[in-house]
Amino acid sequence: MNEHLARNPRVTVDVLVAMYRNKQANRVGFAMNANCPVDLMRETAGLGADLDRTLLAANPSLPPDLIALLARDPSENVQRRLAQNPAFKHWKASASDSSKERAQ
């Protein structure tokens, strides 16, 4: 049951953090939650197993620094999920636009 709660975007941040800290659900559930606090995302990216990072890579709320980190992840699964993430596509387009502006 807690796995489903950890994935629910309507659960408050305070409850998510408490559940995470008390290990009431696996990192996978939190990684899939679009409202997962960024500090928990960062912890999952750094400590998580391949599956945790793969599902985190699909999270549409990834901040740019985590997108950049996951873009360098050696896992093909992470790369595949990240490539499908709208946040990654926006980040990549922004990075491309920035490099074009610097070239001019």
pLDDT in tens, 55-100: 999 999 999 999 999 999 999 999 999 999 999 999 999 887 666 5
3-state DSSP of 80-93: HHHHHCHHHHHHHH
How many domains are there within the chain?
A: 1
Structure tokens that stand for 43 in this block: 């912890």
pLDDT in tens, 38-51: 999 999 999 889 99
